[in-house]
A and B are shown apart, each in its own frame.
Chain A
């Protein structure tokens, strides 16, 4: 679980701090896809996800030389930074878009005529995007990022009970909006 044992990124991070290019590459190989996926699923926008991932790692580079092992896992820290950046962007969107975002996902045409995988993928992405941000965050952290409940709750600065409430409500909403796809996930 989250807080046990040594941070698996500690050695690589020390290498990054020393300017070791192989450590930079290894750390990016290990963590960049995760952070990019997190941002993509939170923001539902490829360009913004890339911006968030880039900014997250630029901040990590600044921290690398002064990183104090044992305070927080680097992966958790990356998630926190990326999530903050995602919320900044979500807030800006709300300020720019004066219309209330649609609560219901456009379910499109009847899907039982054999939706292609790409269509399914779009439907799921749209359903996730239509969730309230905190429910989406809980699902992305626990399901997609594979964090344990304690780590996810700590990251979201809520209790495990509150996390479970967000997960339960989020999954119920998704189930309802994707009900016509039951059995289509393969």
Chain B
């Protein structure tokens, strides 16, 4: 079903406002615009082509590639599965002279044996192992800290 007819002036305005691709115009006006274009191609096609020239120039405005260091900082600062539990593991493991990963392994064993332990620890350790990161450095970054705090905290562990 055809929508309301579009005045030629509105078509020309839309090309100037939204550019040369009707697909990027307001959804509710596209159908009428296409119908109008089909009826007056010789007049309206050049308007679209003209607007598309500016679109192509705009596409040249540089974006920016994501720097690996930025990505790394953001991953390090992201919420982690129970930061408190990670700190607890790292701290207690260090006190016992074990690496964090080794101590995490001990905790898994204890957990599987059904002995009591802090409730939050098992999921964290399980997650570490599931991620294949049981031997990676444990970083304790709380979600509420800002990046600086997070990085400082991480470097202390």
Interface residues of A (CB under 8 A from B): 1, 16-22, 24-25, 28, 32-33, 36-37, 40-41, 46, 49-50, 53-54, 57-58, 61-62, 64-65, 117, 120-121, 124-125, 128, 139, 142-144, 146, 148-150, 160, 164, 167-168, 171-172, 174-175, 178, 181-186
Q: List 18 A-B contacts (CB under 8 A).
A: A17-B79, A19-B78, A21-B131, A21-B133, A22-B131, A32-B70, A33-B63, A40-B63, A54-B73, A57-B74, A61-B77, A64-B79, A120-B57, A121-B62, A124-B61, A125-B61, A144-B61, A181-B57
Q: How far is the CB of B20 from chain A (nearest CB, A)?
A: 11
A24-B78, A62-B143 known; A185+B60 contact, CB < 8 A: yes
Inter-subunit contact A168/B64 (CB<8 Å): no
Task: Tell which of B11-19, B33-41, B95-103, B107-115 binds the partner.
Answer: B11-19
Decide yes or no whether B81 CB sits under 8 A from chain A: yes
A40-B63, A54-B73, A185-B59 known; A19+B17 contact, CB < 8 A: no
Inter-subunit contact A172/B16 (CB<8 Å): yes
Inter-subunit contact A168/B16 (CB<8 Å): yes
Task: Write out, one digit per residue, whether chain B residues 73-105 have a CB within 8 A of any chain A CB (1) or not (0).
Answer: 111011111110000000000000000000000
Inter-subunit contact B57/A149 (CB<8 Å): no
Inter-subunit contact B58/A143 (CB<8 Å): yes
Contact of B19 among A16, A21, A125, A143 (CB under 8 A): A143
Decide yes or no whether B53 CB sits under 8 A from chain A: yes
Inter-subunit contact A61/B143 (CB<8 Å): yes
Decide yes or no whether B8 CB sits under 8 A from chain A: no
Q: What are the 9 A-B residue pairs with the smallest beta carbon separation, nearest first?
A: A185-B56, A19-B81, A37-B63, A24-B78, A185-B57, A40-B64, A19-B80, A167-B17, A121-B60
Alpha-carbon distance A32/B73, docked complex (angstroms): 12
Decide yes or no whether B26 CB sits under 8 A from chain A: yes
Inter-subunit contact A50/B75 (CB<8 Å): no
Inter-subunit contact A16/B78 (CB<8 Å): yes
Contact of A25 among B56, B62, B75 (CB under 8 A): B75
Residues in B whose Cβ lies below 8 Å from that of A57: 74, 77
Alpha-carbon distance A186/B66, docked complex (angstroms): 26
Contact of B57 among A21, A33, A64, A184 (CB under 8 A): A184
Inter-subunit contact B61/A121 (CB<8 Å): yes
Residues in B whose Cβ lies below 8 Å from that of A20: 81, 127
Contact of B18 among A40, A142, A183 (CB under 8 A): A142
A37-B64, A142-B18, A149-B26 known; A58+B81 contact, CB < 8 A: no
A121 — nearest CB in chain B belongs to which residue?
B60
Decide yes or no whether B71 CB sits under 8 A from chain A: yes
Inter-subunit contact B57/A18 (CB<8 Å): no
Inter-subunit contact A62/B62 (CB<8 Å): no
Alpha-carbon distance A24/B73, docked complex (angstroms): 12
Decide yes or no whether B67 CB sits under 8 A from chain A: yes
A1-B27, A124-B61 known; A32+B143 contact, CB < 8 A: no
Residues in B whose Cβ lies below 8 Å from that of A128: 58, 61
Decide yes or no whether B157 CB sits under 8 A from chain A: no
